[in-house]
Amino acid sequence: MLVLLGVLVVVVGFATRRNPLLVVGVAGVATGLLGGLSLQKVLAAFGTGFASSRAVTIFAITLPVIGLLERHGLQEQARRLITRFSGLTAGRFLALYLLLRQITAALGLNGVFGHAQTVRPLAAPMAEGAAERRHGPLTDKAREKVRSFAASADNVGFFFGEDVFLAVGSILLITGFVNTTYHTHLEPLRLALWAIPTALCALAVHGCRLLRLDRTLEHAKPEPAGAGAAK
């Protein structure tokens, strides 16, 4: 049971808002030592895991490229582009992004969109530009709300869309566990089909929340100068 103290380290670390990488690293080392492994074997396990998951480090190439693009005006160009579509509000744009994120995730194209490569440099600035064109200058609180809704559109679309893809890890894990444990023959296609109603419900529910964002921003307009004094 002492090995489970590693989970406690994760809970306490996240609750106190420590650096996630540091928290996970300390929890891994603590779990290995409590499990009877030497420090050398713990470090070897970290190295093996890193070597077998090299694709995770692709961000080391992606982030500098995005940084250079932003430095040369990527976000400004995104805002300028969205102003050409007069009927596209922030809520409608994010609802469209949610739909595209779900479709691409359902097709297994998980890397097409994402927070680092799409939401921060493109989706969020475009949503802000649409909101500013319709509602005028945004307050800091309204701007953060638009950004948070842009991030949520990516999260919800990816989370509920990927389960429709047959070869996603969660479906393969479930089918492998059920078939091995209960000696049945559960096809991944059956799980993927049952994920479609859930994905559609998520699209409808969160799509409505995104469309209501325009009404929220309308009420969050800053008061004209001198309005407070007149009251």
pLDDT digits (tens, 9 = 90+) for 18-76: 888 889 889 988 888 888 888 888 888 878 877 666 666 666 677 777 778 778 888 88
Q: Are 89 and 36 in the same domain?
A: no
pLDDT at 19: 87
Q: Are 37 and 111 in the same domain?
A: no
Give the count of domains, the chain.
2
Q: Which domain holds residue 20?
A: 2-52
Whether 228 has a pLDDT exceeding 80, the answer reads no
Residue 174 belongs to a domain: yes
Compute the distance between CA of residue 168 and CA of residue 154 in angstroms, rounded to an integer: 17
Q: Are 33 and 65 in the same domain?
A: no
Residue 156 belongs to a domain: yes
> In this predicted model, what pLDDT tens digit does every residue of 78-136 receive, in sequence order?
888 887 787 889 999 999 999 999 999 998 888 888 888 889 888 999 999 999 988 88
Domain boundary among 52, 73, 94: 52
> In this predicted model, what pLDDT tens digit does every residue of 148-181 receive, in sequence order?
999 999 999 999 998 888 777 777 777 887 788 8
**231 band by pLDDT with thresholds 50, 70 and 90:** very low
pLDDT at 60: 67
CA distances for 227 relative to 197, 217, 220, 222, 224, angstroms: 49, 19, 15, 10, 6
Q: Where does 114-168 have alpha helices with state H?
A: 124-135, 140-162
